[in-house]
């Protein structure tokens, strides 16, 4: 039986190595076919790794995006980052729209742009979410964090990383073996507080000079970052490729994610899927993404000492993490769940037939001349009434 494909456009800030939103867009796009959807990706920037026929650079303009949707018969637009979030309200008259929210760290966790970050969150809550057909989040924590209770949760996947299987660590005495501990985070100063730099350094200091423990870190940064870490006895891997990143995660005994806030924490489940134990503090979405939660630094110290001493316990913990994430977080499930939500939006969106009618095409030509990035030539009050009118008409026809 031939499946009639529907087209959806996903808008994301970048399609470049090292960005979680790029992983999400690519992995979902590759699997949406089974859900009956063909996914196109619009972005601000794309590198050679993510360059593909279904990836296009699109200016965050309602006119540009609408014209692309018309040319490619797009039926729904999904945005997963700014500045595309802010464009969705200007598209509501023309096409169903969906927010796929991965969250913004608490503004007070940043030193220099607290006011701007707070304004962005408030703008989305007041001006974006009420104007779209559906809001989706990647965790239950985020649903509460964005204060939008009706949001639906679509967890992400982890099976894009190489499957090395559960680790065969063995039960030999740990005193003669080094426990390899690592972290994966951006190395710049701007995000150091929210990523938990101080917490990771505190754990390192606890084991300073003690045999049997080796610490490392991987992330995007500059040569000065590498020198800074190596002065503290920590191996630093800069700007690694996806292959190097996968090997790094698999060769660790323990990954520590000291972050103070995460909307999902993709690196944590990637480590699990690589056969490595992942530790994280009991904050953000961590309770949804790892079976090993830390209440404080003492918890981390205890577990690391225990696993260094007894490798059989480390092997059991590693297998538990591997099974946990490989079973719970798959991109196929993400794509199918997203596809189901898109089907529902398409079936229940107000005046969907009106949006595609010949009369609406005339309306677009007339009003579209005066509508640029959310600024309309007609008043918002009038626009709101016009938008609701077709829904009322169709409901009256159905009732008869």
> What is residue 364's predicted lDDT score, i.e. its pLDDT?
44
Count of the separate structural domains present in the chain = 2
Q: Which range, of 120-124, 257-261, 364-368, averages the lowest pLDDT?
A: 364-368
> Going by DSSP bridges, is the β-strand pair 76-79/55-57 parallel, antiparallel, or unpaired?
unpaired
Higher pLDDT, 30 or 119: 30
What CA–CA distance (Å, rounded) separates 133 from 387?
13
Residue in 226, 203, 224 with CA at minimum distance from that of residue 294: 203
Among 328, 362, 378, residue at a domain's last position: 328
For 176, other C-beta atoms within 10 Å of its C-beta total 8
Among 4, 280, 315, 301, residue whose Cα is nearest residue 139: 280
Asked if 260 and 214 sit in the same domain, the reply is yes
Residue 399 pLDDT class (50, 70, 90 cuts):
very low
119 with 15, same domain: the answer is yes
- Residues 344 and 315 placed together within one structural domain of the fold: no
Least confident of 43-52, 141-150, 249-258, 359-368: 359-368
Same domain, 310 and 337: no
Domain boundary pick from 328, 363, 394: 328
Same domain, 178 and 287: yes
CATH number at residue 298: 3.40.50.2000
Both tokens assigned to 274? 């690589």
Is residue 30 in some structural domain? yes
**Which residues lie closer than 8 Å to 301 by C-beta, 6 or more apart?**
203, 206, 207
Half-sphere exposure of 36 (CA within 13 A, CB side): 14
Same domain, 323 and 337: no
Q: Are 338 and 320 within one domain?
A: no
Instruction: List the structure tokens of 387.
Output: 């938008």
Does 375 reside within a domain?
no
Residue 343 domain flag = yes
Dist. CA 247–CA 216, nearest whole Å: 13
Burial of 150 (0-12, 13-18, 19+ CB in 10 A): exposed
Count Cα neighbours of 203 within 13 Å in the Cβ-side half-sphere: 32
How far apart, in whole angstroms, are the C-alpha atoms of residue 283 and residue 163? 28
Six token digits for residue 42: 């619009």
Nearby residues of 165 by Cβ (< 8 Å), 6 or more positions away = 275, 322
Question: CA-CA distances (angstroms) from residue 200 to 142, 203, 205, 375?
Answer: 24, 5, 9, 47
Looking at the structure, tell me whether residues 113 and 246 fall in a common domain.
Answer: no
Residue 147 banded pLDDT, cuts 50, 70, 90: very high
Q: Quick check: is 374 in a domain?
A: no
Give the closest residue to 311 by CA, choosing from 118, 127, 178, 141: 178
Task: Establish if 368 belongs to a structural domain.
Answer: no
Q: Average the pLDDT over 317-329 and give the result.
A: 96
Question: Are both 341 and 294 inside the same structural domain?
Answer: no
Tell whether 163 is covered by a domain.
Answer: no
- Whether 59 and 144 share a structural domain: yes
What's the pLDDT at 350?
A: 59
pLDDT of residue 93: 85
Residue 61 lies in a domain: yes
CA atoms within 13 A on the CB side of 260: 15
Distance CA 245, CA 322 (A): 17
User: pLDDT per residue over 299-311, tens digit each?
Assistant: 999 999 999 999 9
Domain span including residue 307:
174-328
Same domain, 180 and 153: no
Q: Tell me, yes or no, whether 370 lies in a domain.
A: no
| Same domain for 336 and 297 | no
Report pLDDT for 31.
97
């Amino acid at each position: 039986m031939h499946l009639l494909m529907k087209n959806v456009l996903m808008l994301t800030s970048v399609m470049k190595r090292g960005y979680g939103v790029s992983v999400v867009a690519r992995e979902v796009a590759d699997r949406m076919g089974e859900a009956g959807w063909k996914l196109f990706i619009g972005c601000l920037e794309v590198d050679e790794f993510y360059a593909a026929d279904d990836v296009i650079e699109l200016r965050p303009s309602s006119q540009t995006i609408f014209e692309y949707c018309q040319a490619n018969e797009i039926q729904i637009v999904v945005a997963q980052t700014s500045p595309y979030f802010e464009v969705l309200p200007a598209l509501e008259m023309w096409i169903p729209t969906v927010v796929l929210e991965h969250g913004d760290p608490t503004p007070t966790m940043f030193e220099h742009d607290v006011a701007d970050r707070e304004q962005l969150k408030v703008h989305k809550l007041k001006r974006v979410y009420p104007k779209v057909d559906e809001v989706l989040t990647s965790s239950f924590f985020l649903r509460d964090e964005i204060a939008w209770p009706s949001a639906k949760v679509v967890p992400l996947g982890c099976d894009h990383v190489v499957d090395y299987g559960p680790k065969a660590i063995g039960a030999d005495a740990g005193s003669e073996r080094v426990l390899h501990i690592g972290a994966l985070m951006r190395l710049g100063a701007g995000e150091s507080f929210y990523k938990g730099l101080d917490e990771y350094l505190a754990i390192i200091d606890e084991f300073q000079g003690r045999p049997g423990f080796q610490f490392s870190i991987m992330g995007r940064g500059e040569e000065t970052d590498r020198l800074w870490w190596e002065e503290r006895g920590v191996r630093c891997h800069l700007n690694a490729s996806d292959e190097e990143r996968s090997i790094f995660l698999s060769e660790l005994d323990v990954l520590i994610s000291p972050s103070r806030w995460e909307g999902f924490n993709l690196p944590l489940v990637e480590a699990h899927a690589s056969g490595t134990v992942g530790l994280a503090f009991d904050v953000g979405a961590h309770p949804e993404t790892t079976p090993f939660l830390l209440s404080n630094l003492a918890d981390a110290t205890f577990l690391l000492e225990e696993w260094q001493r007894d490798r059989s316990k480390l092997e059991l913990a590693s297998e538990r993490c591997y099974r946990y994430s490989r079973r719970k977080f798959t991109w196929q499930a993400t794509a199918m769940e997203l596809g189901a939500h898109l089907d529902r939006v398409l079936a229940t969106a107000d005046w969907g037939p009106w949006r595609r009618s010949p009369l609406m095409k005339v309306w677009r030509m007339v009003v579209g001349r005066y509508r640029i990035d959310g600024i309309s030539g007609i008043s918002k009050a009038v626009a709101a009434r016009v938008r609701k009118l077709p829904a009322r008409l169709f409901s009256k026809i159905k009732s008869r």
